[in-house]
Structure 1
Amino acid sequence: MKIGILGAGEIAHEMAKTVAGMEDCEVLAVGARELLRAEGFAKEYGIPRAYGSYGELVEDKEVELIYIATPHSHHYQHAKLALEAGRHVLCEKAFTANASQARELFALAEARGLFLGEAMWTRFLPMKAKLQQLLHDGAIGQVRSLSASIGYAISDIPRLREPALAGGALLDIGVYVLNFAAIALGEEIEKVESSCQLYGTGVDACESITLTFRGGRMAVLHANMTALSDRGGVICGSEGYIRVGDVETCAPLEVYDGERRLVARHEAPPCHSGYQYEVAAAAKAVREGRGECPEMPHAETLRILELCDRLRDAWGVRYPFE
């Protein structure tokens, strides 16, 4: 699978390193807003082609799959550019700034017969499947609630403070705890409650979110871009609980019984990068002629974005381009 990386920022570097360690994929080209930057990126990773514009990249007919690594404020624009050029697309999370943009892109991809997916890496990891299997098998009885917190002291990063770049904690890191809740509790949300502390520029700095699912199951979530947290989570059941070391990676998983005794511990399998799973899934979908990945289908991307829209509306957070 010949991949083109659109953007040359931090996450693009991680993807270039990831694909370099894969046997059946290669980065054929990289595109940046400046040719010198693209050439420097290409030289660092041994990428054959460098383009000084995104338009040139997507017009390279030998590139099969475009990975979009720009800020999520620009995902809609850049995914549309690639789709209209006839390229399959794997787009970094958050998929778009809002659900409306995502619906339009999914409709365009379907009309063109192209693959389009969100690179929410948590959904593709082996430990996500392991966690769901434990819950399905009744390792802790009936799941009744969960809690999760994610926090990074990253408010000094300019793009995260900027409304025009869809800044704030929710779309950058809050989506991880929302996806974690979805992985463990499903999609049947009946009630959403939240509170938010705004940054001086008007974006969300930290938030507390309580989701009530069918049957009274609850998820209590926290995201913060001004302070660190352990990124941990706890899933509580009628016969025990599972402690999740990192909700982004769903690992390690520690299973405790009704007496709070540790009865099992599951570690993530060794790998050179957790991102290879999403790339492999996207490449497989393209080869099989499918428009989406079962790990992160279009409907689930839309559901999470609709929830984000609902939360931002309650907080009064709106981006200038909306």
Structure 2
Amino acid sequence: SPTIAALRDLGSPRLSPSPIKPQTPPLKAFLPRAFLPDTPELIVEMASGAPHTLKWGIMATGWIAEAFCKDLLTDPACRDVHDVRHEIVAVSSSSSVDRAASFVKKIDGPASAKLYGSYAELVADADVDIVYVATPHSHHFQNAMLALQAGKSVLCEKSLTVNASQAKRLVEVARAKNLFFMEAVWTRFFPLSIKVRELIASGEIGTVYRTLADLSFNESNDKDDGTVTFADSHRMVNKDLAGGALLDLGIYALTWVFQTLYHLQPEKDKEPPKVLAAMNHYRTGADESTGIICQFPGHKSMGIATTSLLVGTAPDGNDSAPAIRIQGSKGEIQVSDPAFRPTQFKVIKKGREGKVDVVDCPIPKDPKRDWGHGMFWEADECARCLRDGKKQSDTLPWSESIVIMETMEAALRQGGVKYPDLITSDIYDAKSPLNTGSR
């Protein structure tokens, strides 16, 4: 495994004792061996200039779908990816075909994309290889199940579901139908995240005993009266849409806790955490601020994940404080804000009199589209898994999504947040208003 010293020989990411101007790195320097083909057939496919094409059906047309689809439309070569590519073949809106058409126009999508005014039509399209579920998390269980029951592989936005029983049901169906299924926690697939995990695994900062992670946004009103800028009907604070800081923002803080303290443990030694949580409620009943302690007794490690809608991780909005601190016996890694889309980390070794190694990991852009958000890496993972016949990703396996969902469910229970029965049920209903668009 690479060490900080070895990074200097890679040419990228750039490394210096102080912050430097970001440069676009050759991503091969970041990619672990598991991301590269190891069979002659796949190597020939890449050498012949015939990348594997994954055909996407897009379920919903909100802002997260817009960012994801614009990433799908970028040239993979801009991120030094040559073995897979993506094609948007269909887009659906639960409200109207016109809305789907407006969405395709907004993202400068292909004129060939088929437009649907219902999710049922999308999942019935034989040209769709995989469905991207981009609806609110209140709808994820019913929407993802609709696609799985239709025989489609699924990439479902985070948080995967509203509770653990729903997540388990989705995994059961994906396994029974032999389909690929993954939670869209895009941060996991960043070259930066991969590199941080590699450094931890190599022992660069010794045994990791604690991770502190936060994702918070200061949405407080100027009146400073304890209210936020969102209307009460907004998905961020609306309990009917599983609103609240935890499921929308806190999952990113938990992502860093789990990928540093849980994911890297040997499979036989993995243990779900003991969870202690506290929440402050907004006037809608959703959580406005949440703190979670995850204790892993067998490893003597602890993660502290926090999230809030009233204060920000970095008060000046300019990385004045690290979003994540990964603390080991020989030093620590500090990851820049925001936790969901960091572009820099620092390695601070014990006893080095303040010397700091800084690694910049900028997100490449397609110059023709002037776009690059970072969601394309999770899409590339989907393409490689489907190409290779894998049903789940090693980077975010089903079991880990379930354990994280169990952790969030425990926090919600301890914090006294209860969502409506319609969105917490684990009974699939193709005619549910969550599938038909009447809710």
Greater share of helix: 1
Question: Is the CA contact 1:22–1:276 (under 8 Å) kept in the aligned structure 2?
Answer: no
What's the CA shift string for 1:150-203, capped at 9, x where partnerless? 102455161121111111111101011111011111153553222110111111
1:53-132 to 2 correspondence within 5 Å?
Answer: 53-132=118-197
The amino acid that maps onto 2:274 is K
- Higher relative contact order structure (alpha carbons within 8 Å, sequence separation ≥ 6): 2
State the 1:282 CA deviation: 0.8
Cα deviation digits, residues 5-48 of structure 1 (max 9, x gap): 10000001001100000451111111002221111112232232
CA RMSD of aligned residues (A): 1.7
The answer for the alignment partner of 1:252 in structure 2 is 344
Q: TM-score if structure 1 supplies the norm length?
A: 0.95
Structure that is richer in strand per residue: 1
2:243 aligns to what? Answer: 167
CA distance in 1, matches of 2:332, 2:344: 14
> Displacement of 1:319 after TM fit?
0.8
Q: Distance in 2 between matches of 1:263 and 1:46?
A: 43
Secondary structure, aligned partner of 1:66: strand
Fraction of identical pairs, as percent: 36
Moved over 4 A (4+): none
Aligned counterpart for 1:242 among listed residues 333, 336, 360: 333
**What are the equivalent positions in structure 2 for 1:1-322 lying under 5 Å apart?**
1-23=54-76, 24-33=85-94, 34-44=96-106, 45-47=108-110, 48-154=113-219, 155=228, 156=230, 158-186=234-262, 187-214=270-297, 215-230=299-314, 232-246=323-337, 247-259=339-351, 260-271=353-364, 272-321=372-421, 322=424
Who wins on radius of gyration, i.e. which is larger?
2
- Quote the Cα distance in structure 2 between the aligned partners of 1:101 and 1:152: 28
Q: Matches of 1:173 and 1:16 in 2, distance apart?
A: 21
Q: Secondary structure at the match of 2:235?
A: helix
199-208 or 144-153, larger mean C-alpha shift: 144-153
Which sections of structure 2, spanning at least 5 residues, go unmatched? 1-53, 77-84, 220-227, 263-269, 315-321, 365-371, 425-439
The alpha-carbon deviation at position 146 of structure 1 amounts to 2.1
- Pair 1:118–1:22, CA change in 2 (3 A): farther
- Between the aligned partners of 1:233 and 1:255, the Cα distance in structure 2 is 12
1:250 to partner: Cα distance? 4.9
Task: Tell me the residue number matched to 2:12.
Answer: none
Unaligned runs of 5+ in 1: none
Contact 1:9–1:69 (CA under 8 A) maintained in structure 2: yes
